[in-house]
Structure formats: C-alpha cells, structure tokens
Amino acid sequence: MNPTPLDKTISYIAALQALKDDDRLRGLKPRAGIDFVSNDYLALASAPRMRKAVSAALEAGTPIGSGGSRLLRGNCEEHESLEAEAARFFGAETALFFGSGYVANVALLTTLPQRSDLLVLDSLVHASIHEGARAGRAAFCENVHNDPRAVEDRIRDWRGKGGMGRVWIVAESVYSMDGDFAPLEELVAIADRYDAFLVVDEAHATGVYGEQGRGLTAPYQWRENLIVIHTCGKALGAVGALVTAPRVLRDFMVNRCRPFIFATAPSPLMAVAVQEALSILQQEPDRQQRLANLVAFTHRELAVRGARSPSHSQIVPYIVGDNARAMALASALQARGFDVRGIRPPPVPAGTARLRISLTLNVGEDDVRAMLDALFDETSGKS
C-alpha cells in the first residue's frame, strides 16, 4: 500500500523527535536582551545615517521592489551605482550585487568552477559554500582547517593523478564560528604557484578589518585569480553580498549564473543602504577603532578571569562541548538579560557545542563585563 500523506507527516515528527532527543531541536525566539549574538558589528543596522539614506531614497521615488531580474526591468541605477562604488572601494575590477551571502556563495560556486575543476575547501567554511560545492559541477574536497600545506598537497596529488582543470581554493578570512583568521598570505602564494583561483568569503571581516574596513583581502585585490565575497548583512548593517572579481568572471556570471539570472533583483533600497554603509566606513573610521578596542578589552577581561579564547577577533567562542550543557548555559545567560546563543553541531564539529559570543558596537565595556561576570558565575556553579 502506498504511504498516505499522514504517514509522511509522521516521519517528520520522528525526525523532530530525534533532534529533540539529541538536544538539537531548533526554534525561533523573539529578540530580547543585550546583543551578544548579532553580526551587526558596527551597529549600522539601525544607525541614523542608514535610516536617513533609505528614507531619502524612498521620498525621492526609489521603488521598494526591483520588479524583475537584473537582466530585465530589475536593473536599477541604485544597483549599478553600488557596484561601481564597491569596486572602487574594495579596489577590485568589478563587483556584482546578490540578495544574500548564502545565495552569492552558491551562485558563484555553481557557475564558475567547471566539470574538470577541483574545489579545495577549508573544512570550516560556511554551509553555503558546502552547498555550492555539492550543487556545482566540479569535484571538491575538504581540507584540514587553516593548513596551507595540506592545500598544496591536495593540489599536487590531484595534478599527479591527471587533474587537468582549474583549482579553486575556498576559505573564509575570519571563520564564523571560531573567529580565527585564514593564513591568507600563504593561500595567495599557493594560488599563484599552482595557477589556481582563490575565493575568499569576507563575511566576518568586511567593515571590521583592513584599511577603512575593506577586508583582509584588500592587499591582494586586482589580482586575476582572486574572487571575494563581501556580505552586506553583517558589519554593513543591511542585506546582500557584493562579489568582487575580474570583469571576465563578472560577465560570465551575468550570462550564466542561474541564481542571478532567474531571480528578482534585490530591492534598490537595499543597494542604497549598502552604499551608505560603505560611505560610513570611510567617513566614520572611529567605528572600526571602537570595535577593535572592545575586542581587545573583552579578550583582556577573559584573561583576567583565567580563561583564554581561541580567537582574537570579535567572534569569541566559549567551548562547552556537550550540546545540552551549551544550550542550558545560553538559556541561563538569556534569563539574566544577555542575548548569548548556543551553537550545536552540525554548524560546528561534534563535541564542540559552544556559546558564540559576538562583539558589536551595540554593547559597551560595562555590558561585556556584566556578561562575563554572569558567564563565570554560571559556570562556577555559584548561581
């Protein structure tokens, strides 16, 4: 007998129950508490200048929706203006605006690498990169995290076995769950040595690192073999992603990239917001400095409490290990008014459930001190 729709529903229930049994059941919660979770690193998401830019554009008649694909009526002057400014700001030949970082990663990895190519991914890259690699045409492999020697070995091995296509090395400049930095200089050198492309996702570095927030790839821009993803939903306080690339690759994406061609273009208002964020980066460099100070302060405060974070960035992982304990600790901090979230596998490796403490200009030093006091209070069993 064929299964009824209800039988099929029951398998969903079983799957949800299995997640619950494993302390991995997710649910949506309203925003509450002091922000130690968002990626709004420079507090631009509700900055008055951003609001003003968007309302001025609305007043001036900028449409809310783009009305179609970029290749049809959806190509607005706001998109073109943003892309021209982004290319100039990031020091790249061209930029292309996508609706989100997730889409940008999937889009470029399913469009540029071809069937005979090899993708060499760092094992800790974002889900969207894994997704793009799986959905794309090229062979792919995962490498030990932040190990340039292993990248080189992989390429040599593949070439030795007759691999003839291009190699694409894919990394993040700052890793989203561990907050550590990629060995970019070595990766650039390997890409050059083996005639490979280097794809760097700067999601957590754009706006935060590099001169005026141009990211950690800024010193390597204008290379023919570098493609960078600058997401706009984190330090830039908006939504979207700017992919910077040599012109020929941009033109190829415009012609062949299905998520670009067959999707309604992002709202032109979002393009206005992102362009305003790029101006703010240049005109208010103190934001970058204030965040750097807060990051240094937090790492010092951790050390004072006898704890050392494995990262030196604005992403501070506090490794708990056990899923249930990590979630219970996050809940205890939330109950005390701090919006700290637990992260369980699969976004992080099994056995490394953690608090992912995110530092933004939405908080000050007093908030950090109070949150750390609460954290150490909870973990030392005093509360």
Among residues 105 and 143, whose Cβ is nearest to ligand PLP? 105
255 is catalytic: no
CB of 335 to ligand PLP, least distance (A): 26
Among residues 94 and 173, whose Cβ is nearest to ligand PLP? 173
Among residues 217 and 336, whose Cβ is nearest to ligand PLP? 217
Q: What is the DSSP string of 52-117?
A: HHHHHHHHTT--SS--S-TTTTT--HHHHHHHHHHHHHHT-SEEEEES-HHHHHHHHHHHSS-TT-
Question: What type of residue sits at position 349?
Answer: P
* Order of all β-strands in the sheet with 167-172: 94-98, 241-245, 226-231, 197-201, 167-172, 118-122, 139-143
Q: Which of 79, 130, 230, 234 is catalytic?
A: 234
126 is catalytic: yes
Among residues 275 and 336, whose Cβ is nearest to ligand PLP? 275
- Residue, CB closest to ligand PLP: 101
In this structure, what DSSP letter does residue 210 have? Answer: S
What sign does the dihedral 344-347-348-354 (CA atoms) show?
negative
CB of 168 to ligand PLP, least distance (A): 16
172 is catalytic: yes
Q: Which of 78, 201, 339, 378 is catalytic?
A: 201
85 is catalytic: no
Among residues 239 and 372, whose Cβ is nearest to ligand PLP? 239
234 is catalytic: yes
CB of 41 to ligand PLP, least distance (A): 12
312 is catalytic: no
CB of 37 to ligand PLP, least distance (A): 12
204 is catalytic: yes
Region label for 350, one of left (φ > 0), alpha (ψ between -120 and 50) or beta (otherwise):
beta
Q: Which of 79, 130, 204, 299 is catalytic?
A: 204
Give the Å distances, CA to CA, from 328 to 317, 338, 351, 355. 16, 13, 15, 10
Which of 108, 137, 134 is closest to 254 using CA atoms? 108
Q: Which of 176, 225, 313, 362 is catalytic?
A: 176
CB of 39 to ligand PLP, least distance (A): 7
Q: Are 285 and 292 in contact (CB under 8 A)?
A: no
Count the Cβ atoms, other than its own, within 10 Å of residue 79: 24
Binding site for ligand PLP (CB under 6 A): 100-102, 105, 126, 128, 172, 176, 201, 203, 231, 233, 241
Residues marked as catalytic: 39, 126, 172, 176, 201, 204, 234
